[in-house]
Each structure stands twice: as structure tokens, then as C-alpha cells.
Amino acid sequence: MQKPTIFVTRRWPKETVEEMKKFFEVTINHDDRPLTQNEIADGFESHDALAPTVSDNIDQNIIKKGSGKIIANYGVGFSHIDLVACKENNVTVTNTPDVLTDATADLTILLMLMISRKAIEGAKEIETKSWMGWKPTHLVGSDLSGKTLGIIGMGRIGEAVAKRALFGFKMKIMFFNRSKKENLNFKAEQVKKITEIFEKSDFISLHCPGGNNNKNIINEKSLQLMKKSTFLINTARGELIEENSLCKALNNDQIAGAGLDVYNNEPDINPKLLKAKNVVLLPHLGSATSKARNAMGFKVIENLKSYFNSGKGIDIVNSTK
């Protein structure tokens, strides 16, 4: 029996590629460059399945042109995929939940520490040989211990961040979630209004999905509600933040700082962000551990195997009916 064909838009870790080839005929973008919309569309048209990443914009033109009926996303977020067009064209979409939770939560804490303890400024002084030695007032930052962490979106990653902050730094945890969270095995206060997070938190960390419901939840109005001592962290989706408003708030010392791992137009970074005060910028490293990236690939493979064996994926994010 002929193996199903899979079009993979970026280069994957070696172990996952070897595993995929046991079950499928695989075409991989070995150049590892961002493919054009037409290249992705042609790949989906000539293969049984498409395996994109969160950096690919899978629009209705790609979906309509595709001959395959499954998009197995290499990543958790799926706001880059037109789910309406998928439903209209009976295309199943799967993602890779669970496997990158710890890696992303660890990076969130890293950003909290980097921005609050002025780590980038300190590293630059060493690199440029401008450090003049220890003194009591030099690069004085803020503690995490005892501060209030406001989490927006208490899913798997939000919970993992909360536990690290609570048990590692004895932070007070507040969170906003659209649905009521039951049976949390740690102490946290769920607030009814997101404005409470903006007004009361020392650190705010975003862990909600993208899409129209959450687009620009951090905007000029919400930034004005924050304390001048607040640090904003985003390891979720770039579209959650209105970047020009954030830059204005940073440069006017309206908030204390921001640590970002995701952006609106990746890999292009808003020039205003690059020049903004009190900001740490990382290149979308949330899931960048060997364990997480391999596990993501294995999740995609399991979803594809399930789909071609039974007609159903495992981690389905859309309804095709």
C-alpha cells in the first residue's frame, strides 16, 4: 500500500523526521526558509497532508487549493490557520498540546527575571567593557518574591507558570479566564474582570490563545490601568498586544518594562520595539528545547497516523461538520 504524502513547511529535528518517514512519504523544506503562500499552496495541492508551523499563514487560498483533508500543525497555537475555510472545505486541523508546557513556562519565568533584574543592561556593560565595578545603586532591579502575578489565560501553560511563581518565588497569583477554573491544586484567585489584573498586578503574563476575541487585549486603555511598577510578559501570541501602544507606554515610563518572545509580524519586529526603553526581546524561543521540539514532531506524527488509519486526528481543534 502506498504511504500517504506529507508536505512539511520547515525543517524538523532529525529524530522526528526519521520517525515520520517510517509511515509517510515526506517532502521537507530543507532550506528552512519561510515559504511563500504559493509554495505552501502548491505543496498542499500535491500532497495528502500539510504540516505547517505557527509562522505560516494558512489562508483560504491555500486551503481551497489543497487536495489533502488534514492540516497537522506543528505547534499549539492555530490562529494562523483559517478555520472557517477549513470547515467549508472539510479540512481537519490538529495541533500539539501538552508537550511544550514546561519549556514555555520556564521561558516565561526567565523573561520575568531578565526584565525585572536588568539582565540585558548588565550583560551589555560586560560586553562593551563599560562596567565600572560594584556599587550600591548600580542596576537596581525588582524582586519577584512576594509580588503579585496576574495571569491572563489559565490553561496548561498558565497553570505551569503559576506553580513556578507560587512555589519558587512565593508570589501571589491572580488570574482571569473566560471560563471558571475548578479544582486547581494551588492557591490562586480568579477575578471576574480582566481590569482587576491590569490594576493590581506587579507582573502580568499572557497565556491566552490568539484570534479575534483576544486581539489587542493589551492596548492603550489597558496599559493606562497598570501600575508604573508593572512588568508585562508575553510568550503566547504577538497579536495579543497593540505594539505601538506598548512602545509608547514603555518610553513614557507608564509601566516598568516588558519581556516579549512573540510579535505581530514575525520575523519582522516593529522598529519602535527595537528602540523602546525597558524591554527584553527574544526570538520566539518558548518551545525551543530539544525535548519539546521533538515531542511536538511526534505529536504531529500521531495525529497523522490516527487520521489516515481512522479518519480522525487525536488533537482536533476544529469541527468539519
Beta strand 5-8 with 49-51: parallel, antiparallel or unpaired?
Answer: parallel
Answer whether 92's CB lies under 8 Å from 285's CB: no
Its sign, for the CA torsion 154, 274, 10, 88, is: positive
Q: Is 18 a catalytic residue?
A: no
Q: Is 19 a catalytic residue?
A: no
Answer whether 174's CB lies under 8 Å from 197's CB: yes
The single residue of 237, 239, 243, 293 carrying the catalytic annotation is 237
**Omega of the bond leading into 267 within 30 degrees of 0 (cis):** yes
Its sign, for the CA torsion 149, 154, 155, 160, is: positive
The single residue of 15, 18, 189, 266 carrying the catalytic annotation is 266
Q: Is 10 a catalytic residue?
A: no
The single residue of 39, 125, 156, 284 carrying the catalytic annotation is 284
* DSSP string for 240-282: GB-HHHHHHHHHTTSSSEEEES--TBTTB--HHHHH-SSEEE-
What residues act catalytically? 237, 266, 284
